[in-house]
Amino acid sequence: MKESIFTLLKLPDRIISKIYLKFFQEKNSLMIFNFHGFFRNEKEKMMDLVDPQTWTTIDDFHQFIEYFLNNDYNFISPNDILNGLNNDKKYIMISFDDGYYNNKHALKILRKYDVPIVLFPSIDHVAQNKCFWWDVLYREKIKSQLSKDIFFEQNQLKLKTNEKIEKYIVETFGKEAFKPRSDIDRPFTTLELRDFSKEKYVFLGNHTSSHAILTNYSSDGIKSQILDAQNAINEITGATPIIISYPNGNYSDEILKISKELGIKIGVTTTYNKNNLPLNSQIKRCMYLGRFDVSGCNDVIKQCELFRSDILLYPRIYDFLNKKSTR
């Protein structure tokens, strides 16, 4: 239902983007795209272990890479942003949120096209081999044929701290609900994450220690969530992240300030917009960069064409509806 509404809202922008790209030259920018997990085939999708709206297939990812390479985009890492971007070029940075084990399926494509990614793992889930609460909610609601309630309940839970969310999940579905059902819904293990981080094309970022929506926390809680993740990732990989993905995209001036104090230099949100050049890594703007989610329920090329347009109405509507639904 949710995806159907948002698909309809994008229709005006699809028309505008086709006209725009045909008659105008798009502005040079940094576009950041976010993926979560991969389905290898239709059978995995039909298992209903995760919400298919937020996932894509390996083939979609392949098409995504080729599309932007064919349109003269340069794929970059967080370090490239710090080193400075050429104002006369167009850039793409790919991110993967949460730290699903199946992200490893991207490696063959990354090596083939010499393309980097930044992975934002929720480090407690990695350490505890624990499912993400939204996957548990989706799986159990689908099993009970209560799918109409999922979107509403997700947004209500997002108003709470992670500790309260998990307490509710355990009380509702039992402690065993957090146990992964397969390689589809599980995170990396600590050793797998360490090995994955050693790949030439993989950079790790901070996604808090427990996927905490930071606007629900006190100053001490914000600092603890970010610092614990920084330390844990350094202990696993030997490197400390310079970039953060704010869970659910939520941030505030206080969160930006604390992040910078803890060594973070770049922050990405869920705000649907391109990051126009020039982009100076020293300015505050780099702490809340826009980012697009790639949906598994819509044609990937049409999504790419849509987001390339410099005139978009949908992001304003999307942000308005999301804020309204979480009040």
Residue 165 token pair: 């969310």
Residue 113 to residue 70: CA distance in whole angstroms: 12
Burial of 176 (0-12, 13-18, 19+ CB in 10 A): exposed
Q: Show Cβ contacts of residue 76 under 8 Å, excluding neighbours closer than 6 positions.
A: 30, 85, 91, 92, 93, 116
Give CA–CA dist 222/244, Å, rounded: 13
In this prediction, residue 185 has a pLDDT band, given cuts at 50, 70 and 90, of very high
Q: Return the amino acid letter for 165.
A: I
Position 282 scores a pLDDT of 72
Mean pLDDT is lowest, of 46-60, 107-121, 229-243, for 46-60
Lowest mean pLDDT among 169-173, 205-209, 213-217, 282-286: 282-286
The answer to whether residues 299 and 6 touch, using CB atoms and an 8 Å cutoff, is no
Give residue limits of the domains in the chain.
28-130+180-308
Give the pLDDT score at 1: 47
pLDDT tens sequence across 13-24: 677 777 767 777
Query: Across residues 163-177, what is the average pLDDT?
Result: 97
Percentage above 90 pLDDT, the chain? 74
Mean pLDDT rounded to a whole number for the chain: 90
Q: Which two tokens stand for residue 270?
A: 């869920």
Pairing of β 73-75 and β 90-98: parallel
**Element holding 37 (H helix, E strand):** none
Helices vs. strands in the chain: H and E counts, helices first: 14, 11
Give the residue from 34, 15, 18, 36 showing the smallest Cα distance to 26.
18
Q: For 44-57, b where at least 16 C-beta lie within 10 A, e where not — what string?
A: bbeeebbbbbbbbb
User: Picking from 14-23, 216-225, 246-255, which range would have the lowest pLDDT averaged per residue?
Assistant: 14-23
pLDDT single digits (tens) 77-136: 999 999 999 999 999 999 999 999 999 999 999 999 999 999 999 999 999 999 999 999
244/5: higher pLDDT: 244
Give CATH for domain 28-130+180-308: 3.20.20.370
Structure tokens at 313: 């109405």
* pLDDT given at position 149: 79
Angle (CA) 104-158-243 rounded to 5° is: 45
* Residue in 164, 175, 105, 169 with CA at minimum distance from that of residue 141: 169
- Runs of H (alpha helix) within the chain: 2-23, 42-45, 58-70, 78-83, 107-113, 123-128, 133-143, 150-157, 162-173, 190-197, 219-237, 253-261, 300-308, 314-325
pLDDT single digits (tens) 269-283: 999 889 999 987 777
Comparing 145-154, 230-239, 318-327, the range with the smallest average pLDDT is 318-327
- Mean pLDDT along residues 167-194: 97
The backbone torsions φ and ψ at residue 284, rounded to the nearest 5 degrees and listed phi first, read -60, -30
Whether the pLDDT of residue 327 is over 50: the answer is no
